[in-house]
A = this chain, B = another copy of it.
Amino acid sequence: MRDTVVFDLDDVLFDATFLKRVARERAVLSMIDAGLPVDFETAIKALFSVIEETGEDYGKHFDEMLEKLGIKWDPRIIAAGVVAYHNTKFSLLEPNPGIFKVILSLRDEGFRVGVASIGPAVKDWEKLIRLNLHHIFHIYKVGLSSWSELFQELDPSTTILVSANPSGIAEASRAGARTVRLLRGRFSHIRSKEADREVKDIWGILSAVKSLSEGL
């Protein structure tokens, strides 16, 4: 039986880093337009430091941003940020060019393909559905609490993980899986030694997976 190739979601199936950056910048511009009385640099710095402190998936980034700036809570300004953020997210959320063909091509060659993600399950399913990638995989393990959870159900010795996240790569490697690291997104400047292959572009995934699978 051929290997199972599991794709991570963020920065592999779509460009999460680009999308979040643009969505946040447009949110801040809208908030300023709605009356936020600070300049862009000050505002975006405050937003980034809130995200740093509260995590990516916290639901009240804009509220805490106002607090950090010493500005009274204002639903109009917050709503302006929310609308711009969601409009940007929905309009830019599309698959990384090439990824659909890479997945399909691996399927055609007899690999089992899967998607897995660490994070809130409903939000990650929303991404998959909006990306129109919710029918292409054999295996869906969305909303995992860790990569080791994935390997409770998949045999690591027949699994190849494709991820842009060095800590995911390290975890999968420790579990005994082979790994392909895509050098994209917010972790792309971080070095790691654990990956069996490193590739810079989407098409590189195909040859990396195939050579790994053949034991090369």
A123 to B82, CA, bound (A): 9
A156 to B34, CA, bound (A): 29
Is A44 located at the chain interface by the 8 A CB criterion?
no
State how many copies of this chain the complex holds.
2
Cβ of A24 to closest chain B Cβ, rounded Å: 17
Given A140-B76, A142-B75, A142-B76, are A83 and B130 also a contact pair (CB < 8 Å)? yes
Contacts of A130 in B (CB 8 A): 83
Is A121 located at the chain interface by the 8 A CB criterion?
yes
Give 3 closest A-B pairs by Cβ, nearest first.
Answer: A79-B125, A75-B121, A79-B126
With contacts A75-B124, A78-B122, A79-B126 known, what are 13 further pairs, Cβ within 8 A?
Answer: A34-B129, A34-B134, A75-B125, A76-B125, A76-B140, A78-B125, A79-B122, A79-B123, A79-B124, A79-B129, A83-B126, A83-B129, A83-B130
